Amino acid sequence: DAGVTQSPTHLIKTRGQQVTLRCSPISGHKSVSWYQQVLGQGPQFIFQYYEKEERGRGNFPDRFSARQFPNYSSELNVNALLLGDSALYLCASSARLVTYEQYFGPGTRLTVT
C-alpha cells in the first residue's frame, strides 16, 4: 500500500497570496493531522480531522484552515501569506481518532517571498 502522499512537493508564493496544500492518507485511515515545521525546529500541530470533522486545533491564526473530504483526503489552506509561513508542512494519517501510530508524509516545502 502507498504511504501518505502530499502535493505539491515544493511551492513558492508571494506575501499576501493564498495557498492550498493537499494530503492523501494511507488507505483505510480516517484521521489526518497537519503540522508545520519551521527550519531548525520540531513540527507544530495545526489541525486534526477525523471523519470530516475538526477534532483538534493548535495555536495558529484564523488564516489557517483545513477540511477533509469523504474519501478522507485533506486540504490545508493558508490565506494572506506571511514570510513566517515559510516551512515544511507535514500531513500525518492514522486509522483512528485516538491511536498510538501516526504515519507522516514527505511534506510540502512552502517558501514565501
Q: Which is nearer to another protein, 67 or 79 (by Cβ)?
A: 67
Q: Are strands 64-68 and 19-24 parallel, antiparallel or unpaired?
A: unpaired
SS3 (DSSP) at 83 = helix
From residue 73 to residue 112, the character string flagging contacts with another protein as x (rule: CB under 8 A) and all else as - is: -----------------x-x-x--xxxxxxxxxxx-----
Rg of the chain on CA atoms, in Å = 13
Amino acid, res. 54: E
Minimum CB separation of residue 80 from another protein in Å reads 25
Query: CA triplet 48, 64, 111: central angle to 5 degrees?
Result: 110
Amino acid, res. 21: L
Minimum CB separation of residue 88 from another protein in Å reads 8
H/E stretch holding 10: strand 10-13
Among positions 6-45, residues that touch another protein (CB under 8 A) are: 31, 33, 35, 40-45
Q: Which is nearer to another protein, 37 or 79 (by Cβ)?
A: 37
| Site residues for another protein per CB under 8 A | 4, 31, 33, 35, 40-45, 48, 50, 55-56, 58, 90, 92, 94, 97-107
